[in-house]
């Protein structure tokens, strides 16, 4: 049956359209079918729904201002135009489902659980003025299909959204961006040699936490191509699949800089697989071109309840002045009152080894650790909230507790432990009194009992410890006090 009609609220039980067909709403139900022949077209101002079949035998067109439902569609080589305002595409499955899709509507979306499937050789084009959001859904392309984001259009893919091919690794699709692109938490699989191809006139709203799979594998192929000049942006959290040849990021825009994180970037991440104008990887363009900079981030085992104590502390050998480690203290790893941990990180912030301090009987680590070189030995000192003093040895592969350590020195240590190269100093509490403690001989061999000396402060003597009480009136208040260490008594300096 051949129809040339204009209908309103039309429920279809006819066989074919050969020229022009228009309706406020199109419902194809049951065993009914509608075939759009050759170059004919159908215009629907409402929704297309139903359980029947809509088919195109040639390069016909469907113009839709409403929503596309989950129905059977045989596309031929047709184009479906989404040209309304707010529209959704709700598609469950089908291979293929569309041939060409053109989005000029200002708000088209595909939600989680819905698929948009493009036949081999077909395309999904977001044209000028169009806005398309892949909101957790999936777009699947047949081989040699294309995703085109045209000038003055916007494409966004959100968390758990997936852009892939029917047979990843075998089928390839083109992904060309001339408009605005925003990618956050999605995945892109099996692009062609140009990768995510961001042209010079495009705008990057965001590229964050994107996972790139199935590199094309050619010597000049890439996951991402960026040609924008004067760009200054971050591609944080991106992950790259294995690359046997070619590049992860290929940047050619003049005076541009793109920053990525080296940590967790996947087997294809890192400087060795990028292309830019920074051959020596010093972060500066060699001749005014693009720089792809890989930043290092340290991610500790967990977000501890007590947080990081003090600042990360880089350590270097005092004989050779060569860097060997960075120490980070984290309290209460699994909750309040849980174990504390000292991390040893390498120059890139990667965890190399750790040392744990149990809450019972030691309490929490206080402040950042103090590192030192004793002969050729690298040592680490710190105190705890129950008054224990620790000495660790950094072997280069482990943090080991020194023999006979730790030991209790007071009721509570209240400051980080520091040293002048000979003695250890720290603040603490003993019998309810705030004191400054000085320990002689732990770094310098030869321990001698303290000798009394003139001082207005109260000195407490023992064979291993010298401490000074806080003056009255400053209990609980941290102040800067200058001290003189005379062998082996601790005195207030008259110029303090």
When comparing pLDDT for 495 and 423, which is higher?
A: 423
When comparing pLDDT for 422 and 17, which is higher?
A: 422
Q: Are the C-beta atoms of 377 and 315 separated by less than 8 Å?
A: no
In sequence order, the 6+-apart residues with CB closer than 8 A to the CB of 393 are 377, 378, 379, 380, 399, 400, 401, 402
Kindly indicate the confidence band of residue 230, based on its pLDDT and cuts at 50, 70 and 90: very high
**Mean pLDDT for all residues in the chain:** 84
For the stretch 121-164, pLDDT in tens is 999 999 999 999 999 989 999 999 999 999 999 999 999 999 99
Report the pLDDT averaged over residues 337-357. Answer: 91
Q: Are the C-beta atoms of 310 and 367 separated by less than 8 Å?
A: yes
Kindly indicate the confidence band of residue 111, based on its pLDDT and cuts at 50, 70 and 90: confident
Q: Among candidates 115, 120, 159, which has minimal Cα distance to 139?
A: 115
For the stretch 441-478, pLDDT in tens is 544 333 333 333 323 333 333 334 445 544 444 433 33
Most confident of 3-17, 166-180, 337-351: 166-180
What is the spatial distance between Cα 89 and Cα 116, in angstroms, rounded to a whole number? Answer: 8
> Measuring CA to CA, how many Å separate 237 from each of 114, 184, 207?
26, 10, 9
Position 194 pLDDT exceeds 50: yes
What is the spatial distance between Cα 36 and Cα 433, in angstroms, rounded to a whole number? Answer: 92
- Give percent of the chain with pLDDT exceeding 70: 82
Kindly indicate the confidence band of residue 210, based on its pLDDT and cuts at 50, 70 and 90: very high
Pair type for strands 340-345 and 351-357:
antiparallel
So what's the pLDDT on residue 482? 41
Position 178 pLDDT exceeds 70: yes
Kindly indicate the confidence band of residue 112, based on its pLDDT and cuts at 50, 70 and 90: confident
230 φψ region: left (φ > 0), alpha (ψ -120 to 50), beta (else): left
Virtual CA dihedral for 410, 414, 415, 418, nearest 10 degrees? 0
Pair type for strands 323-331 and 340-345:
antiparallel
What is the spatial distance between Cα 453 and Cα 448, in angstroms, rounded to a whole number? Answer: 15
Position 119 pLDDT exceeds 60: yes
Enumerate the β-bridge partners of residue 316.
323
So what's the pLDDT on residue 23? 73
pTM higher than the cut 0.95: no
So what's the pLDDT on residue 307? 78
Q: Among candidates 268, 226, 279, 213, which has minimal Cα distance to 246?
A: 268
So what's the pLDDT on residue 345? 92
Q: Cα angle at 366 between 479 and 369, to 5 degrees?
A: 100
Position 314 pLDDT exceeds 80: yes
Report the pLDDT averaged over residues 37-55. Answer: 88
Q: Are the C-beta atoms of 57 and 77 separated by less than 8 Å?
A: no
What is the spatial distance between Cα 178 and Cα 197, in angstroms, rounded to a whole number? Answer: 9
For the stretch 406-417, pLDDT in tens is 989 899 999 999
- Residue identified by tokens 């971050």 is 234
The mean-pLDDT minimum among 58-62, 273-277, 475-479 falls in 475-479
Q: Cα angle at 421 between 464 and 402, to 5 degrees?
A: 60
């Amino acid at each position: 049956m051949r129809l040339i009609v204009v209908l309103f609220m039309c429920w279809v039980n006819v066989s074919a359209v050969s020229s022009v067909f228009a309706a406020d709403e199109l419902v194809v139900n049951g065993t009914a079918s509608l075939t759009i022949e050759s170059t004919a077209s159908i215009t629907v101002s409402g929704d297309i729904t139903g359980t029947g079949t809509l088919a195109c035998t040639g390069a016909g067109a469907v113009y839709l201002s409403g929503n596309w439902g989950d129905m059977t569609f045989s596309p031929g080589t047709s184009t479906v135009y989404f040209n309304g305002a707010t529209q959704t595409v709700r598609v469950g499955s089908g291979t293929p489902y569309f041939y060409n899709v053109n989005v000029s509507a200002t708000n088209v979306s595909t939600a989680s659980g819905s698929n948009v499937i493009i036949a081999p050789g077909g395309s999904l084009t977001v044209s000028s003025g169009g806005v398309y959001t892949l909101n957790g859904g999936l777009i699947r392309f047949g081989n040699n299909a294309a995703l085109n984001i045209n000038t003055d259009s916007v494409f966004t893919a959100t968390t758990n959204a997936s852009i892939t091919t029917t047979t990843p690794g075998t089928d390839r699709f083109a992904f060309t961006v001339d408009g605005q692109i925003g990618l956050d938490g999605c995945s892109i699989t099996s692009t062609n040699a140009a990768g995510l191809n961001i042209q010079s006139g495009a705008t990057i709203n965001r590229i964050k936490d994107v996972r790139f799979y199935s590199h094309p594998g050619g010597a000049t192929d890439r996951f991402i191509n960026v040609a924008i000049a004067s760009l200054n942006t971050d591609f944080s959290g991106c992950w790259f699949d294995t690359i046997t040849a070619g590049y992860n990021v290929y940047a050619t825009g003049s005076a541009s800089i793109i920053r990525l994180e080296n940590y967790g970037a996947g087997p294809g991440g890192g400087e060795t697989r990028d292309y830019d104008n920074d051959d020596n990887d010093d972060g500066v363009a060699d001749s005014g071109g693009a720089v792809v900079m890989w930043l290092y981030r340290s991610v500790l085992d967990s977000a501890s309840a007590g947080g990081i104590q003090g600042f990360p502390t880089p350590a270097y050998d005092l004989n050779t002045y060569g860097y060997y480690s960075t120490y980070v203290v984290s309290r209460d790893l699994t909750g309040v009152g849980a174990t504390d941990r000292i991390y040893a990180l390498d120059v890139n912030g990667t965890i190399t080894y750790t040392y744990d301090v149990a809450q019972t009987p030691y309490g929490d680590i206080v402040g950042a650790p103090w590192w030192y070189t004793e002969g050729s030995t690298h040592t680490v000192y710190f105190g705890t909230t129950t008054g224990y003093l620790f000495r660790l040895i950094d072997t280069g592969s482990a943090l080991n507790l020194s023999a006979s350590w730790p030991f209790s020195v007071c009721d509570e240590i209240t400051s980080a432990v520091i040293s002048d190269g000979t003695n250890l100093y720290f603040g603490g509490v003993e019998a309810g009194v705030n004191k400054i403690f000085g320990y002689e001989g732990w770094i310098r061999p030869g321990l001698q009992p303290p000798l009394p000396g003139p001082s207005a402060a109260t000195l407490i003597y023992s064979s291993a410890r010298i401490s000074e009480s806080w003056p009255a009136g400053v209990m609980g208040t941290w102040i800067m006090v200058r001290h003189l260490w005379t062998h082996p008594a601790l005195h207030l300096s008259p110029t303090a």
